[in-house]
Amino acid sequence: MRRTVRFGIVALLFAGTVLALGAAGQPEAATGSYPLTWLTVGDTAARALGDEDRVLATIEDITGVNLQMQIVAEGGWDRVNVAIASGDLPDIVTGQLASAATNQWMRDGILVPLNDYLPQLPHIAERLEEESWTAVDGKFYGYPFVNQKSTTNAALTTRSDWLENVGKDVPTTLEEFRAVLRAFVNDDPNRSGRADTYGITTQGPIGAFNWAFYAYGVQYGDWALDDAGNPIPHHEHPGFRQGMVFLRSLWDEGLIDAEFMLNDRNLMEEKWYQGRSGYMTPALFRHVSRLESNLQAISPEAGLVYHSAPIGPEGHSGHAVTGKGGMFTAITIGSRDPQKAAEFLDFFVSPEGFDLLTLGIEGIHFERTADGGINYIEEERVRDNFAANGWAHPLAWGHVRWPLSENYLPMTEPARDRAIDSVEVATADQVPNLIPYVTQAEIEYGGVVDEIYEELFLEMLIGRKGVDEGIAELSRRWRNQGGDRIMEDVIQAYRELQ
Amino acid sequence: MADRNELSAVPTFRQSRLSRSRSDSIFDVVNYAFLTVIGLVTLYPFWEVLIISLSPYDLYLARTFHLITERVDLSSYRFIMGMPGLWSSYRVTLFVTALGTALSVSLTTLTGYVLSKDYIRGRRVIMFLIVFTMLFSGGLIPLYIVVRQTGLMNTVWALMVPQAILTFNLIIMRNFFFSIPDSLEESARMDGAGDVTVLVRIVLPLSMPVISTIALFYAVQLWNDFFNAVMYISDRRKWPLQLFLRAMLFDSEASLQSGSDDPSLLGQPIKMATVMAAMIPIMLVYPFFQRYFVRGIMIGAVKG
Amino acid sequence: MYLLLIPGLLYYLIYHYWPMYGAVIAFKDFHIVRGILNSPWVGFKHFEYIFSLDKFGQVFRNTLWISLLRLFFGFPVPIIMSILMNEIGKKSFKRSIQTIVFLPHFISWVIFGGMLVNLLSMDGGVVNNVLRATVGTQVRFLTDPQVFRSTLVWTMIWKTYGFSTVIYLAALAGIDPQLYEAAIIDGATKIQRIFRITLPMIRGTIVVLLILRVGNLMQAGFEQIFIMYHPGVYRVADIIDTYVYRIGLTEGRFSMAAAVGLFRSVVNFTLLVTANRVARSFGERGIY
């Protein structure tokens, strides 16, 4: 009992001390170079930065700053938003591109326009020229990174042993694809003697079945055009109706995993490894060798097969949507030296900065071989927190770039050629966007209307609503819950682009 | 708690000794059987986590139901133990849990005790104002500002102090104090004991069941918390265990895209091993708390 | 005595009442630079927007309905369990079962949800395999809107009953054993003892937990539902919290999020105050 009391007293003393300390505030770190804080979500899977990180030291030498990273865990954009909204402003902040929050930062005057500094920021200026739509009233407030803008790693993926077992080739048309799915369900592809397989499984309804709509002539990743050439939402295009009828027939025949909506990425992949479903829609690229070796752990004869999206009756096809979202890195008005911060950021996005974060310092972390290859010196790299097997420094990804968009793979990556090939195949099916950016009304109402789309899509697919009835309801509800406002913006943006 | 007077009139029961013992033994048999079944059902999730964490990946993949594993494989645990930063996150969590529990239990006990006394003026108003905070809050922004202004930002204190009293626990605690008869206190006071002496000598010993329960709740809460760490801790070296493990292992945009080790791709056994690694230490303290609510403290005995 | 109250009150003042001013943000258009207090007032604009969403009525009804089901089926379970556990004579058995009931508390919903999918799925799920072998039918526990709510409620009970059980165990441990001894001498059976002694003795705890639960009806279990639901069951399982989260009203839209929160708080508050008043009118102490 005494112990409890003593504990209590100690604890109270502590609480008192903490409050007192709080009032005193924290002392500033005194160093010669400019202390620069950067608040970002970063790459949560990366290692912690070490105290004597030579890569960080090199960056600091070159840019003349003392970098203090504030990395938020868990992809915690909420935390970033709260910090900014509370007036806890870092020098640099990375937010979400085209989101309500970053919009507000610009509108409320939290961010410093970069225009005046652009002459000193060659690399940022170059990117801003490509993404000129990010300007608000002629002012550029930050460095945009659009994820999966020109490459993607999503493609329909199946297994070679099943194709052989049912005697089918890799399908190219929609009807061939249907035939393969049928065979996967009816012709006992796993040789179990039971009807225990599905044709295809996937993850989450939005976008997972878009290949059907593109095959029937929906033209763009974001919107469609009607006969008069005016932008309309996908579900008002006749191709959407045909695609929906096609998908519905697959569902009615039992070719689609009846519980695909419960899948997360892991479960989807497991169903595929375990031979419960022949097709899935995974992320490829550097995952190719992992997926295939897991598959072979259960079925040694099997191989991973990815292929182009099935072609519709009039020759259309497509699979992945072109990205519009990503990250937005900006200088805040909390920075005492915005120019310094901007110059730092410019180095960070430059090719030199990129090499430093992926390869390291030449002679210490890597050597160039005579034939132009790279020799990674793993024992030195691990000292500076590089990830294993030629992968990058903790700061490399998640701020202004991701590996896929850079097409980055270390020379040591197993199945490197197939990884690159999978991206080429997937990217060939990437459907372009009508409007390359997210309009204001979409930021405002997008969540609500996507929601309606998702719900009705699923009801039509699983037969709870007829296709025509469902489309009519979707169209009506979609438009009156914000869709009309979105279309106004989209039509205007489309006119401006033309 | 019910008024104690009404209990002094224990009802009388007329029944033959034989039928009583028969009815009791039937009750016992049914009860044991029922609780065994329920126990097994309740144990199942934990068991499955354990089994998957001990399974080699290929065996895990080959089946969908995991009651046993043919090969025990510790590589998942070895992988976790080898993660840089794991041990420092254990240290942070241990520190926060130990100190935070002490802080919270002390504050909750003091506040709950005082507010359970009928002679404290304004206690209902105070209690109402406290309950009010359970339902209404100012939201994240002002709290963030307060945490910053009290100097807790990016310190481990931010993981303890802003949640020092959970009103739910306070209410449970206060409710328990009602059941301690005032007469005990009065007699102690007559012997010249002050407020603190009464609390320490009389009330606390009688309250061990509830104190240990509340302490358990706080300890588990502090141990499992990651939200506060996401909000207030940006220095990775101060990340507590839960946050560290979640960041390393759970699916995220980052794990699909990043170039780092990316353990989430190593599959379910490692994930389950992290669940176990996060769970085992806090489970070990459970028996210490359990002692008190199994045995109970005999108010009557003290009274006599 | 009053001095002992100071640390606790200071805590509430600093970490609860000081930030409380932030609630006004629900009636304002939040402007970051001007701060919460100087942002312009907009009256009930944010509330009007939320109520104008065509799904709001549905998610509101779902929230209440799921909560009531949880209350009705879930509330008695820990009471029954703790009493049954209390009647166990064998120390080792008692200890094991008390440890076991608390274990699921350590497993997060993400993990537990994944297990449930494996257990309850139509292809390969153990439960359905058993059903097929015995009754000959299968149940789409996770995808059929008719049964999904029951799945939610019972899995919630499965995972969480142990937590409240521990509270009741503590209350049971405080019962004077002399009462039982007297009853045994008077010839009471175990069942009689449960109804005449045990239940009346923990009535206070039951009432307190019931009031707290009623005052929390607008929270129908965000974490669980968020993990387990999908568009196919939105109609029956979508609650205010999940809907608002999904459509992104909380993503940096602080005024909107505050309006939703305030609405929820007002409903909860009304329920809680009513419940407390009712309890007091029955001679209970209530929670304040």
Helices (H) and strands (E) in chain B, counts: 17, 0
Yes or no: domain A28-147+325-404 corresponds to CATH 3.40.190.10: yes
Q: What is the mean pLDDT of chain B?
A: 81
pLDDT at position A10: 44
Of B23, B133, B196, the CB nearest to C12: B133
A315: left (phi over 0), alpha (psi -120 to 50) or beta: left
CB C32 to CB A462 under 8 A?
A: no
pLDDT at position A32: 64
Q: Quick one: B126 and B244 in the same domain?
A: yes
Q: Quick one: B252 and B213 in the same domain?
A: yes
Please give the tally of structural domains in chain B.
Answer: 2
Domain range spanning residue C136? Answer: 41-281
Cβ-based neighbours of A180, under 8 Å, separated by 6 or more: A158, A163, A166, A168, A171, A199, A278
If you average pLDDT over residues B112-126, what whole number do you get?
88
pLDDT, tens digit, 9 for 90 and up, residues A336-350: 999 999 999 999 999
> How far, in whole angstroms, is CA A342 from its chain's centroid?
25
Cβ-based neighbours of A387, under 8 Å, separated by 6 or more: A46, A47, A394, B259, B260, B261, B262
Chain B hits for A88, Cβ within 8 Å: 144-145, 148, 153
Q: Touching check for C7 and chain A: CB below 8 Å?
A: yes
pLDDT at position A26: 42
**Separation in Å, CA of B82 to nearest CA in chain C:** 23
pLDDT, tens digit, 9 for 90 and up, residues C218-260: 888 888 998 888 888 988 999 998 988 888 776 778 888 899 9
Cβ count near B14 (within 10 Å): 7
End-to-end CA distance of chain C: 19
Please give the tally of structural domains in chain C.
Answer: 1
In a domain, C211, yes or no: yes
In B, residues 84-113, which contact C (CB 8 Å cutoff)?
107-108, 110-111, 113
C-alpha–C-alpha distance, residues B221 and B173, integer Å = 16
Q: Which residues pair with A66 in a beta bridge?
A: A35
In A262-415, alpha helices (H): 265-273, 288-298, 338-349, 351-358, 378-383, 403-406
Q: Which homologous superfamily is A156-319+431-497 in?
A: Periplasmic binding protein-like II (3.40.190.10)
- What CATH number does the domain containing C114 carry? 1.10.3720.10
* Contact indicator for A153, A225 with CB cutoff of 8 Å: no
Whether A2 shows a pLDDT value over 50: the answer reads no
Q: Quick one: B193 and B65 in the same domain?
A: no
Chain A hits for C117, Cβ within 8 Å: 259, 262, 267
Estimate the crossing angle of helix B268-295 against helix B86-115, to 10 degrees.
30
Q: Quick one: B98 and B189 in the same domain?
A: yes
Q: Quick one: B155 and B50 in the same domain?
A: no
pLDDT at position A8: 46
pLDDT, tens digit, 9 for 90 and up, residues C108-124: 888 888 888 888 888 77
Element spanning A221, H or E: none
Of residues C152 and A10, more confidence is placed in C152
Q: Quick one: B146 and B246 in the same domain?
A: yes
pLDDT at position B117: 87
Q: Which residues pair with A326 in a beta bridge?
A: A146
Of residues A389 and C78, more confidence is placed in C78
Q: Quick one: B109 and B226 in the same domain?
A: yes
Specify the length of chain A in residues. 498
Whether B8 shows a pLDDT value over 50: the answer reads no
* Contact indicator for A225, A239 with CB cutoff of 8 Å: no
Chain B hits for C115, Cβ within 8 Å: 45, 48-49
Cβ-based neighbours of B197, under 8 Å, separated by 6 or more: B188
ipTM: 0.88
Q: Touching check for A404 and chain B: CB below 8 Å?
A: yes
Query: In CATH terms, are A28-147+325-404 and A156-319+431-497 the same topology?
Result: yes
* Contact indicator for A34, A64 with CB cutoff of 8 Å: yes
In A, residues 30-89, which contact B (CB 8 Å cutoff)?
39, 42-49, 69-76, 78-79, 82-83, 85-88
* Contact indicator for B229, B159 with CB cutoff of 8 Å: yes
Which site among C106, C186, C194, C262 would you substitute to test the B interface, given the most B Cβ atoms closer than 10 Å to its Cβ? C106
Q: Quick one: B109 and B158 in the same domain?
A: yes
SS3 A430: coil
DSSP 3-state helix, strand, coil percentages of chain A (rounded to 5)?
Answer: 45, 15, 40
pLDDT at position B2: 39
Q: Quick one: B91 and B190 in the same domain?
A: yes
Placement of tokens 């938003």 in the chain: A81
pLDDT at position A246: 97
Of residues C212 and C283, more confidence is placed in C212
pLDDT at position A98: 86
Whether B6 shows a pLDDT value over 50: the answer reads no
If you average pLDDT over residues C19-24, what whole number do you get?
90
Chain B hits for A78, Cβ within 8 Å: 140
pLDDT band at residue B9 under the 50/70/90 scheme: very low
pLDDT at position B19: 65
Chain A positions touching chain C (beta carbons under 8 Å): 12, 15, 19, 77-78, 81, 84-85, 87, 99-101, 104-105, 108-110, 196, 198, 205, 258-259, 261-262, 264, 266-267, 276, 446-448, 450-451, 454-455, 457-459, 462, 477, 480-481
Least confident among B25-39, B243-257, C119-133: B243-257
Q: Quick one: B46 and B99 in the same domain?
A: no
Which site among B258, B262, B289 would you substitute to test the A interface, given the most A Cβ atoms closer than 10 Å to its Cβ? B258
Least confident among A166-170, A303-307, C106-110: C106-110
CB A446 to CB C248 under 8 A?
A: yes
Cβ count near C75 (within 10 Å): 17
pLDDT band at residue B266 under the 50/70/90 scheme: low
pLDDT at position B158: 93
Placement of tokens 């508050």 in the chain: C269
pLDDT at position C33: 87
Residue of C nearest to A13 (CA): C7
CB C117 to CB A447 under 8 A?
A: no
In 3D space, the residue among A253, A184, A244 whose CA is nearest the CA of residue A210 turns out to be: A244
pTM, two decimals, is 0.86
C-alpha–C-alpha distance, residues B141 and A74, integer Å = 19
Of residues A385 and A227, more confidence is placed in A227
In a domain, C24, yes or no: no
* Contact indicator for B149, C271 with CB cutoff of 8 Å: no
Chain B hits for A6, Cβ within 8 Å: none
- What CATH number does the domain containing B258 carry? 1.10.3720.10
pLDDT, tens digit, 9 for 90 and up, residues C188-221: 888 888 888 889 988 988 999 999 999 989 888 8
In a domain, C36, yes or no: no
Domain range spanning residue B40? Answer: 17-73
